[in-house]
Amino acid sequence: MSQQQKPRIGITLGDLNGVGPEVVIKALQDNRLLSLITPVIYGSTRAVSFYKKQLNLEEFNYGHAKTRGQYIPKTINVVNCWEDAVEINPGKPSKETGKAAWLALKQATQDLKEDLLDALVTAPIDKNTIASEEFPYRGHTEYLASTFNTKDFVMMMVSEKLRVGLVTEHIAVKDIAGTITPELLNKKISVLEQSLRKDFGITKPKIAVLGLNPHAGDGGVIGTEDDQLIKPVIQEWKNKGKLIAGPFPADGFFASGNYTRFDAILAMYHDQGLVPFKLLAFETGVNFTAGLSVVRTSPDHGTGYSIAGKNLAQESSLRQAIYTAVDVVQARREPVKVLND
């Protein structure tokens, strides 16, 4: 693979007081990655240097990318996203590191928008410390959807053997049932089905849809949404010749291993999908935003303040997020032939 063909992968450090910098550095320690990608870290050389010393990683080398879009070949490039020194106190949330996380994300997103990057991998942020007038979003997913004018998107969790999409993301449990409508379900199924074909090369995706209520409503005894709302939407997709099945009771669906029969599962709400996913694929799970015009992934864990700076964080999820980004970039560059709708 030539240097020009190597995907330029932007990687934000996330919150500097969390495990983000540690897992980024650990993941990029493997020099074999440099034969696959051109990594571009968004944060600061000071922050990288701090954690290099903190983790006692003397052999971790990097270069300062001084000009936008001009990256040093076969080198870990670091983009300085702020001028002032930022105080780093691992494990302690601060508005200062929250602002730094925002500046890194803002610069990386701008470079992605201007085609100076091929994909973006985001290390964890603290939604409380990053919150500001400039960042009024619940997380990366909502911010990127807004930035790239994407109305219809799906927050997906991806591993080698399991893909889970969400109908609703970061909303209160009391608001879930009232948010789910036939229109929303149709949009989420459409985005998920298209992403499986375009981003993962699956010609005829098989999608399982989970029920909203316990036992998928139990024939209307435990809520009517499954029979009256979800089933008719699934039937519409079946009538189009799509391999959409459900609604399945969520508990038995995962416990029985039924999920292995499908290319993706669409869960109705955050914990319904993410609890089983993280149990089955925590160390290798990746967050992927389906429906975006750009490629974005992230590890499936948070800032991990309790272990930050202690050399305890596992980099496997961040590393897999990089590999997934590369796979999606390549899939979009060389799209497979798909069946006509």
Domain ranges of the chain: 1-150+292-341, 151-290
According to the model, what pLDDT value does residue 317 have?
Answer: 92
> What superfamily does domain 151-290 belong to in CATH?
Isopropylmalate Dehydrogenase (3.40.718.10)
DSSP state of 168: S
Phi, psi of 155, rounded to the nearest 5 degrees:
-80, 120
Q: Class assignment of domain 1-150+292-341?
A: alpha beta
Residue 4 is predicted with a pLDDT of 55
- pLDDT for the residue numbered 334: 80
Equal CATH topology for 1-150+292-341 and 151-290: yes
User: What crossing angle do the helices spanning 95-113 and 140-147 adopt, rounded to 10°?
Assistant: 40
The 8 Å CB, 24+ separation contacts for 227-231 are 229/180, 229/181, 229/182, 229/185, 230/180, 230/185
| Phi, psi for 52 (deg, rounded to 5) | -60, -45
CA gap 269, 289 in Å, rounded = 16
Per-residue pLDDT of the chain (341 residues; tens, 9 = 90+): 445 589 999 999 999 999 999 999 999 998 888 989 999 999 999 999 999 999 998 889 999 999 999 998 889 999 999 988 899 999 999 999 999 999 999 999 999 999 999 999 999 999 999 999 999 998 898 899 999 999 999 999 999 889 999 999 888 999 999 999 999 999 999 999 999 999 999 999 999 999 999 999 888 899 999 999 999 999 999 999 999 999 999 989 988 889 999 999 999 999 999 999 989 887 789 999 999 999 999 998 899 999 999 999 999 999 999 999 999 999 998 865 544 44
Question: Residue 44: which residues within 8 A CB-CB, separation 6 or more?
Answer: 78, 80, 81, 82, 86, 100
Structure-token match 């973006």, residue found = 120
Sign of torsion over alpha carbons 180, 184, 189, 192: negative
- Determine the Cα–Cα distance for residues 272 and 283; give it in Å rounded to an integer: 19
pLDDT of residue 341: 46
> What is the model's pLDDT at position 227?
94
| Tally of residues, the chain | 341
Cβ distance 230 to 220 under 8 Å? no
Number of C-beta neighbours around residue 75 at 10 A: 16
Token pair 């020099």 is at which residue?
Answer: 31
Q: How far is CA 74 from CA 43, 65, 204, in A?
A: 19, 13, 38
b/e 242-272 (16+ beta carbons within 10 angstroms → b): bebbbbbbbeebbeeeebeebbbbbbbbbeb
Are the C-beta atoms of 77 and 63 separated by less than 8 Å? yes
> How much is the pTM?
0.90
What tokens appear for 142 in the block? 């909502």
The strand pairing partners of 166, in sequence order, are 267
- CB-based contact 15:129 (threshold 8 Å): yes
